[in-house]
């Protein structure tokens, strides 16, 4: 019989006790999930000039907003980016390990690590983190995007909590707001007049801001855009020129002219 649903649902259908894997309380009767700060909504999508990787700024612990200026789109080296959804403490440590590993390889071998090597390195970190992920204290579900200079194209990969790796053809989404964003992306690519992969940079950036605003409307853990506080999603472009962060001033202009109107 074909199993459907996410990883936790499959475990439950196979008879695993979720209360044992994810205890709802600690010894003092306090919810463990409420004690762990988590990141929320990130995604990557291909467009005409490369790949855009975006993440909202909110970090939550249960129903409490812990921080509204989190950077969930982390530049690992000049051609690769990891966007994190899950526990920031674990994800930031993974990013630091990857950054140092790529840098050490480049200096010792006098060349950049291959794109495949980068993917294996992240997969290994996630496999090693499996016990913490299954305990509910260190879950990280990243999206990895980079420019493969051998094949001369941008690529997007997403992972499950055990390190399984999947290549995304056009986009990948992770986090609590992913359902809304994935649905809109599917609709646009299937029936939209302007498929995402054919958008120019201005239209693609406008679309990213609209996606994040839509996710925030239906998911309280997604920060969205707060123009009054000058808070905009972190958006990075990955192309043959390397990784470039889109300036907040440009996002402010696009948001006021093409999202609010």
Is 40 marked active-site? Answer: yes
Place of tokens 């071998």: 109
Distance CA 232, CA 211 (A): 12
Q: Is 198 helix (H, G, I), strand (E, B) or coil?
A: helix
Distance (Å, rounded) from C-alpha 17 to C-alpha 91?
26
Catalytic residue among 40, 60, 139, 222: 40
User: Beta strands 59-61 and 64-67: pairing type?
Assistant: antiparallel
Going from the C-alpha of 68 to that of each of 19, 95, 222, the distances in angstroms are 31, 20, 10
CA angle 258, 187, 247 (to 5 degrees): 35
For residue 186, what is the DSSP state? H
Give catalytic residues, as residue numbers: 40
């Amino acid at each position: 019989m074909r199993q459907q649903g996410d990883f936790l649902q499959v475990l439950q259908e196979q008879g695993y006790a979720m209360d044992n894997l994810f205890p709802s309380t600690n010894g003092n009767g306090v919810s463990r999930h409420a004690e762990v700060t988590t990141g929320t909504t990130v995604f990557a999508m291909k467009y005409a000039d490369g790949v855009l990787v975006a993440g909202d700024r909110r970090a939550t612990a249960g129903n409490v907003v812990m921080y509204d200026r989190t950077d969930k789109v982390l530049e690992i080296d000049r051609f690769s980016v990891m966007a994190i959804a899950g526990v920031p403490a674990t994800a930031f440590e993974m990013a630091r390990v990857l950054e140092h590993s790529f840098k050490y390889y480049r200096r010792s071998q006098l060349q950049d690590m291959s794109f495949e090597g980068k993917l294996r390195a992240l997969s290994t970190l996630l496999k090693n983190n499996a016990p913490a992920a299954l305990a509910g204290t260190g879950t990280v579900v990243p999206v990895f995007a980079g420019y493969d200079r051998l094949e001369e194209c941008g690529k997007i990969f997403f992972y499950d909590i055990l390190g399984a790796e999947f290549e995304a053809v056009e986009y990948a989404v992770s986090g609590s707001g992913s359902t809304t964003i994935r649905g809109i992306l599917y609709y646009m690519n299937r029936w939209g007049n302007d498929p995402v992969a054919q958008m120019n940079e201005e239209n693609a950036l406008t679309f990213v801001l609209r996606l994040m605003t839509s996710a925030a409307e239906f998911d309280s853990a997604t920060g969205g855009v707060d123009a009054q506080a000058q808070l905009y999603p972190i958006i990075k472009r990955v192309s043959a020129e390397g990784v470039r962060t889109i300036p907040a001033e440009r996002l402010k202009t696009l948001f006021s002219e093409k999202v609010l109107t």
